[in-house]
Structure 1
């Protein structure tokens, strides 16, 4: 058996409004509601709704032979509820077919796996509770934010009970090996690792409509011939952003027509079948372990973390954010916890990247800021206000606790003094009035 595994990443961040220095301590609402709603509605109309309708048609048409999987972040699900409930309904229609698998993620599409094991596990649980609530599935396979993976992260994922994990298949990790096989984690071999075929995935995601590409136009037959090039390949993992369909590659490029014709062409021209990540993990055996001592991702040529943590601004913001996590464990306030989750979204750090700024700002269409420095200042202003609110719930240190207690004591004493002063003033007023009345009453009558 040889299999094609489709996985689509669905994510939308909650973008911050322009939050000025003078807003700190005065205005605790951070979000650009207009931008968030407008962006989601646009992507829903171009991608989510037409793509979901097409996938549903293909699943029904091919009667159990066509399968896909999704990784949907918690922030995306929150925005569906707020701005486009019909999108959520369309994903639920797909879930009901039994041919669609929903994978685990971090709720906030965060980089928390690099910082704190306990917080990482808590975010994954929060996400999976949402998936089970909406789609009736408890995820068995994990896909980390931006496909960030290392041996250590994979081991943590295995300890959470997942049987498989998705990641990138970069050349500097695989060397002469192919991503078209199943591997296992180097620390905990029980975790199976599916590696992305970046060349074929990027042919669809980035090169499909590029008329300067020497393989343009890309047809299902041509694509299948590439997949048939090595008949020993077992799994061809096509992992991409869902926005490839209709947003990055607009309908006018023919991307929907390509997808519509693709399953029938696969069945006719190859021995490949479609499978979900869980089915890959169950039906194939790892050919070897894969060693990834340092974190990788699916971003850029380097396939590393520099898009999010490559400069001092990003690192300062990232470290200052997670310096707060031990105190956040003691916070039960719903609004503060919501803001805490949305502050962790990896997009905020991506906006601060200087990798793209100097050469024309590649990916600038997803960045709401004019420069990475503006993104940094805006984020740190929001974080400063958030920290002030946190200090009201959980003071930062013993000294802060003592100061908070003394401040409260002083405020109480000042209130008492104010009351006493008011009482004294009232008593003095009464005494003066009483004295005047007494003098008037005892004043001798005038003799004529």
Structure 2
């Protein structure tokens, strides 16, 4: 109904709300395309704007999404990236023509976090007060982004959040300087004022310290993520139910629950987690991953091994040759295979999960 009114835009992101970007770019593309198809089927509109999970962003993310046909990418307005600049303008991605909208986190968090905070010197936040703040904010636009759960879960109905939401459009309509716009409308209505440059080694998000530490900040999280990443080529080769299970386990929440932070950030992690501690979350998650390992081993076959392509340290390196698949192996000359026979056989059994007989066959096939 909202889509038919032209009053809302549905943006694309990873279908499983995952960290697929850091595992495999092809998988990232597939998950975004799954989300696009779901929006098209349910809403009848194809998304023109996109985000990565949890506003995770760098220059490569922006340009990859732009190469997929998205004209606008949305992310966090991070102070150290903006410097002296304001989040209230359209920016351009570094390295491509994608337009970038960055969240005004201060005005967003006034609603998302501080709305019901009685200690806040601006409590209670009323619709007319907030609209006045928006009107007084300099710039071309104000990008407000909050969790959908803000309206009824993070802030219960008794807090007045629904009344705030009910009256805000009326208060905005009273102010000639303000009008609502969808992401794509806002991005196309104003020219980019500068480049939003976030190199891959300084990737940002909208969580905690505006980096990746909400999901990959401690050894529990990094070890769990390493196992998830290690399983991907096998799950992809098997496809079907195994791949679906892997994708369910790729959801970023599983790693978020394993954070061991203290202070306000730690309180937020604890609020969302269904577990009593990060260690319990880690135990449950890794148990699920090891169950998936058994699931993969039970269904593995020489045919599945033919479909595996590695892009990490599991490739075979020797004599200036790099082999990442059985197809690569067949392209190698017989002399190389003979010289490295013992190592190749062990590689085929350890990495491709072949039996000794299957490994011998794979090594002899040209």
TM-score, length of structure 1 as denominator length: 0.66
Structure 2 CA distance for partners of 1:159 and 1:394, relative to 1, 3 Å: farther
Q: Note if 1:218 corresponds to 2:146.
A: no
Partner of residue 332 from structure 1, selected from 226, 235, 239: 239
Q: Is the 8 A contact 1:357 1:372 kept in 2?
A: no
SS of the equivalent of 1:137 reads coil
| Residue 100 (str. 1) matches residue 8 (str. 2) | yes
1:126 is the counterpart of 2:34? yes
Matched, 1:261 2:167: yes
For 1:368-407, list aligned pairs within 5 A.
368-394=274-300, 398-399=348-349, 400-403=353-356
The CA deviation string for residues 220-258 of structure 1, in whole angstroms up to 9 with x for no partner, is 222122222244x11100001011101111111111111
Change (3 A) 1:404 1:261: farther
What does residue 275 of structure 1 align with? 181
Question: Relative contact order (C-alpha < 8 Å, sep 6+): which is higher?
Answer: 1
- The 4+ residue runs of structure 1 with deviation greater than 6 A are 357-360
Q: Displacement, 1:405?
A: 5.5
Whether the 8 Å CA contact 1:196–1:238 is kept in 2: the answer is yes
Q: Which runs of 5+ in 1 are unaligned?
A: 1-92, 407-448
Query: Shift of residue 359 of structure 1?
Result: 8.8
Alignment length (residue pairs): 310
**Farther-moved stretch of structure 1 (142-151 vs 262-271):** 262-271
Contact 1:183 1:290 in 2 (8 A): yes
Q: Whole-Å Cα distance in 2 between the matches of residues 114 and 385 of structure 1?
A: 23
Once the two structures are superposed, the pairs formed by residues 110-125 of structure 1 within 5 Å of their partners are 110-125=18-33
Aligned equivalent of 1:319: 226
Superposed displacement of residue 404, structure 1 = 8.3
Distance 1:377 1:357 in 2: 23
2:144 alignment partner, one of 206, 216, 238: 238
Judge conservation of contact 2:52–2:61 (CA < 8 Å) in 1. no
Tell me the SS of whatever aligns to 1:214.
coil
In the alignment, does 2:112 pair up with 1:205? yes
Between 1:319-328 and 1:152-161, the stretch displaced more is: 319-328
CA distance in 2, matches of 1:235, 1:357: 32
Tell me, yes or no, if the aligned pair for 1:180 and 1:197 is still in contact at 8 Å.
Answer: yes
Equivalent residue of 2:187, what SS? helix
Cα distance in 2 for residues equivalent to 1:265 and 1:316: 49
Give the TM-score, by structure 2 length.
Answer: 0.80
Where in structure 2 are the equivalents of 1:342-381 lying within 5 Å? Answer: 342-356=248-262, 361-381=267-287
Higher-Rg structure is 1
Alignment of 1:177-196 (within 5 A): 177-188=85-96, 190-196=97-103
The match for 2:70 among 152, 159, 162 is: 162
Mapped partners of 1:360, 1:304: distance in 2: 15
CA contact (8 A) 1:197 1:237 kept: yes
Displacement of 1:213: 0.5
Aligned to 1:22: none
Say which SS state the counterpart of residue 193 (structure 1) adopts: strand
CA–CA separation in structure 2 for the residues paired with 1:183 and 1:171: 14
- Supply the distance in 2 between the matched residues of 1:220 and 1:357 (Cα, whole angstroms): 30
**What's the C-alpha RMSD, in Å, of the aligned pairs?**
2.0
For 1:18-60, what per-residue CA distance to the aligned partner results, in whole angstroms no more than 9, with x for missing partners? xxxxxxxxxxxxxxxxxxxxxxxxxxxxxxxxxxxxxxxxxxx
Question: 2:76, 2:105 within 8 Å by CA — same for their partners in 1?
Answer: yes
Structure 1 residue 272, shift from structure 2 partner: 1.1
Q: Which residue of 2 aligns with 1:251?
A: 157
Render the CA deviation track for 1:84-121: whole Å, top value 9, x for unaligned. xxxxxxxxx33333322111010110011123211110
Structure 2: runs of 5 or more not aligned: 306-346, 360-366
Residue pair 2:259, 2:266 contacting (<8 A) in 1 also: no
How far is 1:319 from its partner? 1.4
